[in-house]
Amino acid sequence: MNDNQPRVYGELLAGGTINLGAFFRKPLVICRIASMFFSIIVFSTIISGAWHNDVCLLNKIDSNCNFVSFVGISFLIVCALYLCLDFALPHLVSLDTRKIIVIVDIAVSCLYTLFWLVSMGVIIGEWWRTVIYQSDQVPYWKFSCIQAAASFSIFSVAIMILLVYFSTRRFNMGKTQLFDMATHVNYADNVNFDGIPGGASGAVSGGANDPQMSNSTSQPYIISAKINGDSHPSNPSRVQVLY
């Protein structure tokens, strides 16, 4: 992947190339995959080992097991969805859509950080009661399942903190990159805007006061520009479609 290509919210503009190897090396993607793995371990060990004779071993409160299972399963689904959105993000031409996806990612990551903290507290806080009061009645392998769930719930909290950090950094990068792209356009250096429909070199077309814009707001505008005296009409990464 060419690091000189312009980016918005950490991703290439629409039309940029996609490199699967580079995609799976991204810290955010690595954290998502790791968190999905931890989630599978937590809810699978709770479902298989935290129940005995239809009673939750976490202090005999069924809602404890149900809550941890819900957090693990729902997080796995949400994380898989966002992994797909991470892959699709470079193909999205609307910068507003990218911004919404990134902001919702931060909110969801913060929410599930809280959920995993509560789950960790439930598992660890209730586990000692299981050991003390029920050790003579429960098979040992079920205690191992609860121990595994407790351990990986701690890992899940740690990885969620990383997800919040990388998601927030991506949002901040987006604001910085948009500003940098704007400041690199030198209006005194022969900037050409070709608007569709109706555009003219040397003038901004499709503005808020443009009657053509007001009559066809649903039409995309393709804007190309000479930046610092260097025109790249053949480079698709330099062309941005705005809606």
On whether both 205 and 179 belong to a single domain, the answer is no
Continuous segment of H or E residues that includes residue 200: strand 200-201
Say if residues 38 and 159 touch (Cβ distance below 8 Å): yes
User: How many Cβ atoms sit within 10 Å of the Cβ of residue 88?
Assistant: 12
State how far the Cα of 46 lies from the Cα of 68, in Å rounded to an integer: 8
Give 13's DSSP letter: P
Say if residues 220 and 197 touch (Cβ distance below 8 Å): no
At 130 the pLDDT is 67
At 194 the pLDDT is 42
DSSP lists the bridge partners of residue 11 as 8
On whether both 111 and 212 belong to a single domain, the answer is no
User: Does 208 reside within a domain?
Assistant: yes
- Where the chain has pLDDT below 70, the residues are 1-18, 130-136, 174-243
- Domain hosting 203: range is 192-242
User: Does 2 reside within a domain?
Assistant: no
CA 231 from centroid of its chain's CA atoms: 33
At 210 the pLDDT is 47
At 222 the pLDDT is 36
On whether both 61 and 79 belong to a single domain, the answer is yes
State how far the Cα of 174 lies from the Cα of 169, in Å rounded to an integer: 9
At 94 the pLDDT is 79
User: Does 1 reside within a domain?
Assistant: no
Average predicted confidence (pLDDT) for the chain: 73
User: Does 47 reside within a domain?
Assistant: yes
At 88 the pLDDT is 86
| Residue the block writes with tokens 């004779």 | 53
Rg (CA), the chain: 25
Amino acid identity for residue 89 in this structure: L
pTM of the predicted protein model: 0.67
On whether both 179 and 196 belong to a single domain, the answer is no
On whether both 12 and 115 belong to a single domain, the answer is yes
User: Does 78 reside within a domain?
Assistant: yes
On whether both 28 and 109 belong to a single domain, the answer is yes
pLDDT tens digits for range 114-154 = 999 999 999 998 877 766 555 567 788 888 899 999 999 99
Domain end point (choices 164, 183, 202): 183
At 52 the pLDDT is 85
Length of the chain equals: 243
CA dihedral 127, 130, 133, 135 (to 10 degrees): -120
At 151 the pLDDT is 95
At 132 the pLDDT is 57
Give the start-end residues of each E strand in 83-196: 192-193
pLDDT tens digits for range 168-182 = 998 888 665 544 444
User: Does 179 reside within a domain?
Assistant: yes
**What is the number of structural domains in the chain?**
2
